[in-house]
Structure 1
Amino acid sequence: MSDMAWHLTGEYLENCNCDILCPCVTSAFQAPADNERCLVPLAMRVTDGESDGLRLDGLGIILVVDAPQVMGEGGWRVAVYIDERADQAQREALGPILSGARGGMPEFLATLIGEQVGVKFVPITFESHDDTRRVTVPGIMDFEVTGVRAPDSPVMRIVNVFHPMGTDLPVARSTVGTFNDPDYGWSFDNAGKNGHYRDFAWSA
């Protein structure tokens, strides 16, 4: 394994096709999802990133996952989307990080992935306003999640969970949740379904 000298920190959102609250999140990926397949984008905006001295700030990364009903069984199909603004050196740095070859949380996720269907370099826009997060790739995907509140209360949270992004997750609902990539023959709409967002920090 190569020298471990990288970190990615920033903002994250997801929007799966489970109703609120997703049983995968509250069971360390061991309980069955609400549907036969779990369809979810894992979207990140890197605000502070570095790999062996190369800056990775400002780049978007999205993993779109098609997993079995019990996510912990593995065999995930994953489509990777990387910000087209990444130059050649940044693309070459992100590849080994996201594949798990450089260790850290991606190394764990790699044990669950059965097939990477492709990698695309695309324009990614990530927006953050109060308790709302949105990520878009023109012509392919548009996901927006907003925190769920009781009247006159802060956003609901779940704590002490196992999740690749952290143990404390706000509960959110998607207002927009479309994905369609004809190159992979893959489309879904998760509007109104479960979502989460938070800051994340990966390193190794």
Structure 2
Amino acid sequence: MSSWTITGQYMETCNCAFLCPCLTSNLTAQPTEGDCKAAVALHIDKGEKDGVRLGGLSFIVMLHSPGPMGQGDIAVGLIVDETASPPQVEAIRAIATGSAGGPMAMLAPLVGRIAGVERRPIRFEANGLMYSVSAGELVNQACEGLASVTAPGQAIGIDNIAHPVNSRLSLARATRSRFHAFGIDWEDATGMRNGHFAPFAWAG
């Protein structure tokens, strides 16, 4: 029986031009800017780990890959909602780093450095095809899904991909991306960069 389960909503933006080549190459392609900078944000609607309730909390996994993600040497930093208690922070840290098993464990062999954990007030908002996340001065990002003409109200999606959050992601363009965390610095508001969102259901 799983010692933890969490479900909720996810969104991210990255510095790659749309569409990120990582997804269509199984993480083997060179990022469009040479390296990859991404903020993977998750809001937990409900869940717990070893009796510690996690519903209502958000966290952001900051990633920097110096080249193709599949080659490893990825730096990872974690931002946790400042309202989380110490046991909740530890539970989220274990889940987000993959040390507690679950989907993030698939990335663990590619991680070369854990940059640390920061606490900030995280605001996660979803409204139709519009998603936005902020974490104090560290992250401010938003994306808009590519509307489907065959499924009104839904975004165009991509299936069967190697992504730890979900094997199906909605495609989106980043309307803004600002990262200044763990030495990962990026700013863009051109609307030409990559974004995604999806529900998630993790267990370990």
TM-score, length basis structure 1: 0.91
Give 1:151 shift: 6.6
CA distance in 2, matches of 1:32, 1:143: 23
- The equivalent of 1:15 in structure 2 is 13
Q: Tell me what 1:103 maps to.
A: 101
Are the counterparts in 1 of residues 5 and 47 from structure 2 also a CA contact under 8 Å? yes
SS in 1 for 2:15: coil
Matching residue of 2:120: 122
Q: Which residue of 2 aligns with 1:83?
A: 81
The answer for unaligned runs of 5 or more in structure 1 is: none
Q: Is the 8 A contact 1:77 1:115 kept in 2?
A: yes
Report the more deviating stretch, 185-194 or 140-149: 185-194
Size of the alignment, in residue pairs?
A: 200
Please give the alpha-carbon distance, in whole angstroms, between the structure 2 residues aligned to 1:7 and 1:125: 22
Equivalent position to 1:186, from 181, 184, 187: 184
Q: Give the gaps of 5 or more residues in structure 2.
A: none
Single out whichever of 131-140 and 95-104 deviates more from structure 2.
Answer: 95-104
Mapped contact 2:64–2:184 kept (Cα < 8 A): no
The residue aligned with 1:195 is 195
SS of 2:115 mapped into structure 1: strand
Output the CA distance in 1 between the equivalents of 2:178 and 2:61. Answer: 14
**What's the CA shift string for 1:22-75, capped at 9, x where partnerless?**
110112211221111101101100111211122100111101111132101111
Deviation at 1:111, TM superposition (A): 1.4
Name the CA shift for 1:170/1:99 in 2 (closer, same or farther; >3 Å). closer
Distance 1:102 1:47 in 2: 19
Residues 101 and 84 of structure 1, relative CA distance in 2, 3 Å threshold: same
Contact 2:78 2:116 in 1 (8 A): yes
Question: 2:38 & 2:164 partners in 1: Cα distance?
Answer: 14
Task: Select the residue among 50, 70, 73 that pairs with 2:71.
Answer: 73
**TM-score of the superposition, structure 2-length normalised?**
0.91
The within-5 A match list for 1:26-41 is: 26-41=24-39
In the aligned structure 1, how far is the partner of 2:90 from the partner of 2:76?
A: 19
Cα shift readout 1:111-156 (whole Å, capped 9, x = no counterpart): 1111111111111000010101110012221000100136786522
Q: CA RMSD for the aligned pairs?
A: 1.8
Residue 163 of structure 1 corresponds to 163
Query: For 2:77 and 2:93, how far apart are their aligned partners in 1?
Result: 13
Distance 2:84 2:9 in 1: 18
Is the CA contact 2:44–2:55 (under 8 Å) kept in the aligned structure 1?
yes
Shift of 1:203: 0.5
